[in-house]
């Protein structure tokens, strides 16, 4: 079951990455805050529409009416302890009911949203290596009895500052590289005679940066969806490049997501009356 689920996620992530490459290529040529705002606005409106067609709008309308009635009762009969408590109970029940009505739309949206966030994180969370900047490259291997032989064969755009090191407790090989030429490259490793690749980006501005080529691990696949993950049987179970985090109000590990959700909520609230959606 777990294997099936992992395979499914691997397929979904790969499909999302193919679509994302076509849909979001333009992010590279506009300012980050602008692309984030545009995508967040469109997503907000789409979420609103999905909510409209996947939720029970009539039932939500009835719950909202009941909430309004309870609030009115609270205001009118504030001298009556009985009515006050009854109305408060009604309000809590209404809030719970709204939450229950939101479960179905959330269930529908959760998978595409996770895949979308994964794709956007590739652009907004980290930045490419700048010329002269150093980064650690690590190759995580399977915990097998025999330690595989791993060599870095080709690393265009970077020079090796610290050559291969093996750290037993980490079960990983490490290198340190320094960026020399801007561009997108494939780092090539020889693992027990087989070639293994990892994308490397050097340069300025916005670029799609995948920190880790994931192994056979669901959470890693969702977190780092920019490259095909390694198979369960692969000796290599992850290759990471320590890219710097992007900075700025619409970038970085956290702020780009705050910006994204803030803008999408505002967009949804603005378009709510236009599409007549009850939330």
Q: Which of 2, 22, 169, 274 contacts another protein by CB under 8 A?
A: 169
Instruction: List CB contacts of 80: < 8 A, sequence separation 6 or more.
Output: none
212-214, strands of its sheet edge to edge: 158-167, 172-179, 134-141, 236-241, 212-214
Asked if 164 is part of the footprint of another protein (rule: CB under 8 A), the reply reads yes
Partners of 201 in beta bridges: 184
Angle subtended by helix axes 81-124 and 2-23, to nearest 10: 70
221's tokens:
């696949």
Tell the smallest beta-carbon distance from residue 253 to another protein (Å): 11
241 neighbors 198 (Cβ within 8 angstroms): yes
Closest CA to 156 of 191, 203, 121: 203
Only one of the segments 15-23, 41-49, 170-178, 266-274 lies at the binding site for another protein (rule: CB under 8 A); that segment is: 170-178
Q: Which of 53, 85, 92, 166 contacts another protein by CB under 8 A?
A: 166
Asked if 248 is part of the footprint of another protein (rule: CB under 8 A), the reply reads no
Q: In angstroms, what CA-CA distances link 60 with 102, 218, 276?
A: 9, 35, 12
Asked if 242 is part of the footprint of another protein (rule: CB under 8 A), the reply reads yes
Nearer to another protein, 7 or 165 (CB): 165
Nearer to another protein, 109 or 241 (CB): 241
Binding to another protein by CB under 8 A, coded x per residue (else -) over 171-200, reads ---xxx------------------------
Query: Which of the residues 98 through 137 are near another protein (CB under 8 A)?
Result: 134, 136
253's tokens:
């590990």
Asked if 95 is part of the footprint of another protein (rule: CB under 8 A), the reply reads no
Asked if 255 is part of the footprint of another protein (rule: CB under 8 A), the reply reads no
Residues that bind another protein (CB under 8 A): 134, 136, 138, 161-170, 174-176, 242
């Amino acid at each position: 079951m777990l294997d099936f689920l992992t395979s499914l996620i691997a397929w979904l992530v790969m499909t999302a990455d193919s679509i994302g490459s076509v849909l979001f290529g333009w992010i590279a040529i506009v300012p980050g805050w602008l692309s984030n705002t545009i995508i967040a606005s469109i997503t907000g409106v789409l979420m609103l529409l999905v909510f409209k067609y996947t939720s029970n709008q009539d039932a939500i309308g009835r719950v909202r009416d009941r909430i309004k009635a309870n609030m009115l009762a609270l205001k009118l009969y504030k001298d009556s302890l009985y009515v006050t408590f009854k109305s408060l109970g009604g309000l809590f029940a209404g809030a719970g009911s709204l939450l229950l009505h939101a479960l179905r739309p959330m269930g529908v949206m959760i998978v595409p949203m996770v895949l979308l966030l994964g794709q956007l994180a590739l652009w907004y969370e980290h930045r490419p290596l700048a010329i002269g900047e150093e980064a650690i490259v690590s190759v995580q291997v399977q915990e097998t009895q025999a330690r595989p032989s791993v060599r870095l064969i080709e690393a265009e755009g970077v020079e090796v500052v610290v050559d291969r090191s093996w750290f037993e407790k980490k079960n990983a090989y490490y290198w340190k590289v320094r960026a020399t030429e801007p561009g997108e490259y494939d780092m090539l490793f020889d693992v027990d005679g087989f070639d293994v690749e990892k994308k490397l980006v050097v340069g300025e501005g916005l670029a799609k940066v995948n920190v880790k080529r994931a192994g056979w691990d669901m959470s890693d696949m969702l977190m780092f969806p920019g490259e095909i993950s390694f198979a369960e049987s692969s000796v290599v179970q992850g290759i990471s490049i320590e890219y710097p985090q992007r900075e700025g109000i619409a970038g970085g590990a956290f702020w780009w997501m705050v910006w994204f959700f803030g803008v999408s909520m505002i967009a949804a609230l603005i378009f709510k009356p236009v599409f007549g959606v009850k939330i």
